[in-house]
Amino acid sequence: MDLSTSYLGLALRSPLVASSSPLTGDLDGLRRLEDAGAAAVVLPSLFEEQLTAESFEVDHMLDTGAGSFGEALSYFPEHGDYHLGADQYLDLIRAAKEALDLPVIGSLNGTTVGGWLEHAGLIQQAGADALELNLYVVAADPDVCSRDLEEGHRELVSAVRRSVDIPVAVKLGPFYTAFAHTARELVACGADGLVLFNRFYQPELDLETLEVRPHLVLSRSEEMRLPLRWIAILRGRIEASLAATTGVHTAADVLKLLLAGADVTMMASALLEEGPDHLRRVEREVVEWLETREYSSVGQLRGSVSQESTRDPAAFERANYMSVLRSYSSPRHL
């Protein structure tokens, strides 16, 4: 079965990619992912504020949940172990490039344009095959409107695009009023790919201590329907690679996202729960499904149920709303 896939112009052995997570944060995890068949790996994000953590007392902010750094870093329950400083991060890229045969994608989350540009350049120099810009933003300032915020994103993507030669992907959250437009604009600014969607981690309130604390819940398969819809809508409408992240757990999830038009599917939660070998099982089941239906490559099915190709394009839009509501049948015991 020909699983070969092109993502950001990189030739991959399959569409199964390991997303940023603690598993991709050290060489041992990366080796295990390669052995299990990962087609590429995305390293954890290098956070700009992490580089100046001491002066900003990030740990304190994380613990109290205050400040914008706390928002961004609330991903990480064990941030002390998980986060690497810039030097360690660049060493990890170099070591991964030396030890592994698969493409290594660096990831960056900055706070200032200067910071994004400097570290994008360093990640390229260290040998990363591509760069993922992790635009994790909690738009909490009432003085900042969506137009300004999105303009900032566009400027940032253009500036990074101009400053490096390696392919650049942009990882976004789903909370935009006109997402299809936002996506097209980011591609016009030079994004080679879009990674849909980042998960937003909501803070938890502890009723005993009355403190706000980070609380990470791993995803479930149902959550892949959000990227499924948007990938189906964008497929064929923008000139960029499309990666699906959030809720990719099973072979069925992978197949559906490929049918919708994803170039690659990325996993984090499933690999953290099941271990890297889960990738091997998923790949085997994807191949079995394709063989049973007499496909000879993933290329043949990719995008065949995108909005552009499906017999029922309305299923991805508002027209679907009423039929979804009507499709609910109450449990008998009520």
Binding site for ligand FMN (CB under 6 A): 19-22, 44-45, 75, 107, 134, 171, 198-199, 216, 218-219, 245-248, 267-270, 272
> From the CB of 295, what's the least distance to ligand FMN, in Å?
25
For 69, counting Cβ atoms within 10 Å of its Cβ (0-12 exposed, 13-18 middle, 19+ buried), the class is buried
Beta carbon nearer to ligand FMN, 224 or 259: 224
Cβ nearer to ligand FMN, comparing 79 with 326: 79
Q: Which of 70, 68, 112, 108 is nearest to 90 (CA)?
A: 108
325 phi-psi bin (left φ>0, alpha ψ -120 to 50, beta other): alpha
Q: Write the CB contacts of 44 (distance below 8 Å, at least 6 apart in sequence).
A: 20, 21, 22, 24, 25, 82, 83, 84, 107
Q: How far is the CB of 214 from ligand FMN (least distance, A)?
A: 10
- Those residues whose C-beta lies under 8 Å from the C-beta of residue 97, and which sit 6 or more positions away, are 104, 126, 127, 128
Smallest gap from residue 166 Cβ to ligand FMN (A) = 17
Q: Which of 256, 194, 192, 190 is nearest to 225 (CA)?
A: 256
- Name the residue nearer to ligand FMN (CB basis): 107 or 250: 107
How far is it, in rounded angstroms, from Cα 44 to Cα 81? Answer: 12
Q: Cβ closer to ligand FMN: 124 or 246?
A: 246
Q: Which two tokens stand for residue 98?
A: 């030396």
CB 108 to ligand FMN: min, Å: 9
Query: How far is Cα 167 from Cα 129, in angstroms, rounded to an integer?
Result: 7
Nearest to ligand FMN of 28, 143 (CB atom): 28
> Closest distance between ligand FMN and the C-beta of residue 81, in Å?
11
Identify which of residues 88 and 296 has a Cβ nearer to ligand FMN in the complex: 88
Q: How far is the CB of 216 from ligand FMN (least distance, A)?
A: 6
Kindly tell me which of 222 and 317 has the beta carbon lying closer to ligand FMN: 222
Using CA atoms, how far apart are residues 20 and 298, in angstroms rounded to an integer? 24
Strands (E), the chain: 5-7, 10-12, 16-18, 40-47, 104-109, 130-134, 168-172, 193-196, 204-205, 212-213, 241-244, 264-267
Q: How far apart are CA 238 and CA 234, in angstroms?
A: 6
Q: Are 17 and 282 in contact (CB under 8 A)?
A: no
Closest approach, Cβ 253 to ligand FMN, in A, equals 9
Shortest Cβ 322–ligand FMN spacing (Å): 29
Nearer to ligand FMN, 5 or 19 (CB): 19
Structure tokens at 5: 């896939």
Distance CA 231, CA 258 (A): 9
Distance, in Å, from the CA atom of 197 to the CA atom of 181, rounded to the nearest integer, reads 16
Q: What's the token pair of residue 242?
A: 């499309």
Q: Which one, 60 or 220, has the nearer CB to ligand FMN?
A: 220
